[in-house]
A and B are shown apart, each in its own frame.
Chain A
Amino acid sequence: MAIDLLLLIGLTISAVGSILKRDMVKAAIALALTSVILSVLMFRFSSPLAAVFELSVCASLITVLFMSTISLTKPLTKEKEEKRMPVRAWHIVVLPTLLIVAALLLTFVKIPMDFTAPPAVPSDVRSVLWNNRQPDLLGQILVIIAGFFGVLVLFKERLFRADRAEVWTQPVRSMSVLTPKESDAVGINSVEVREGTNLGEPLSRKS
């Protein structure tokens, strides 16, 4: 019981830390720590398979996804990062205060303890999944397929823009305009081109 209480306290502290940490990388690491502690709690509550899933998927895969997202969205300089998301110090006071008040209130909530637990049904997770939760399995497969196509569509547009970017960065030959092929590639019908302009610079566009 004491170990469970310590684990629960650690779980709450690491979850709150992931919210309050200003550095996103540290926040992601705190979230991974939350998953690890949750996994240990699951082992203690006789759920080893779910604990392994939690450890392998949430503590590692999701952390890697967060790190990738953070690295892809990180500004180049610290000044830009400061400008982008200014510090709001009141979070550090508000959330812990809110949680302490909630914990004190919840301590006085009366929980009915007179229920009798139904008799335990020993069964295997695999048999429950395959025999009783078949719609869940179908749902999981559909969600994975939907997620695959979602990510594909999201990053397909990025690849397309990378192809178009090659046309924009080519320097313009003097007094030349875009060839019809180049116009089609960038998706504009007419453009005013200044002599010697690098297409990477802003251009005035004719409607």
Chain B
Amino acid sequence: MGSNTAQLIRAMAVFIPLLFISGFYCLIVTRNLIRALIGLEILSKAVTLLLIFAGYITGRTALAQACVITLILIEAVLVAVAAGIVVNTVQHTASLDRRKLENLKG
């Protein structure tokens, strides 16, 4: 394995987990529903980068791209539906705070 590739693997081994940590931090800590979606997006980007890099170093870029295209499509639909849920939630609770959702009303 070339030294360039080895350095790239070491760099990815640092930055991809950093993206994961950022995404999880945002999801866990934030009270804003829209920012929770942003955290989810960052997690997806970390997975996307991991898949593409794995395809690059193994020479299977076509398979990696096929997986990533599927992931991106599902991500877009997820954000669209989640955005609709957030808008409806705001109409009911007049707030973007997730703590307002703790009181279930039948």
The residues of A with any CB-CB pair to B shorter than 8 Å are 1, 4-5, 8-9, 11-12, 15-16, 18-19, 24, 27-28, 31, 34-35, 38, 41-42, 45-47, 49-50, 53-54, 57-58, 61-62, 65-66, 68-70, 72-73, 84-85, 91, 95, 98-99, 102-103, 106-107, 109, 111, 113, 116-121, 123-125, 127-129, 132-133, 136, 139-140, 143-144, 146-147, 150-151, 154-155, 157-158
Q: Is the CB of A15 within 8 A of B22?
A: yes
Chain B 43-70 interface mask (CB, 8 Å, partner A; 1/0): 0010011001101111111111111111
Partner of A53, one of B13, B72, B78, B96: B72
B33: nearest residue on chain A (CB-CB)? A73
Q: Is the CB of B56 within 8 A of A19?
A: no
Chain B 1-37 interface mask (CB, 8 Å, partner A; 1/0): 1001011111111110111011101100111101101
Q: Is the CB of B29 within 8 A of A147?
A: no
Given known contacts A38-B49, A125-B62, A139-B70, A111 and B9 CB-to-CB distance under 8 angstroms: yes
A9: nearest residue on chain B (CB-CB)? B15
Given known contacts A117-B57, A120-B60, A154-B85, A8 and B11 CB-to-CB distance under 8 angstroms: yes
A92 to B85, CA, bound (A): 28
Q: Is the CB of B18 within 8 A of A102?
A: yes
How many residues of chain B are within 8 Å of chain A by beta carbon? 73
A129 to B63, CA, bound (A): 8
Q: Is the CB of B96 within 8 A of A84?
A: yes
Partner of B19, one of A15, A46, A109: A15
Q: Is the CB of A133 within 8 A of B66?
A: yes
Give me 26 A-to-B residue pairs in the complex whose CB atoms sit less than 8 angstroms apart, sorted by A's number.
Answer: A15-B45, A19-B25, A19-B38, A24-B35, A27-B35, A41-B52, A42-B68, A45-B56, A46-B56, A53-B69, A73-B86, A85-B96, A98-B25, A102-B21, A111-B10, A113-B1, A120-B58, A128-B65, A129-B69, A133-B66, A140-B74, A144-B73, A147-B78, A154-B81, A158-B87, A158-B88
Given known contacts A19-B39, A69-B83, A144-B77, A123 and B62 CB-to-CB distance under 8 angstroms: yes
In the assembled complex, the CB of B51 is this many whole angstroms from the nearest CB of chain A, namely 9
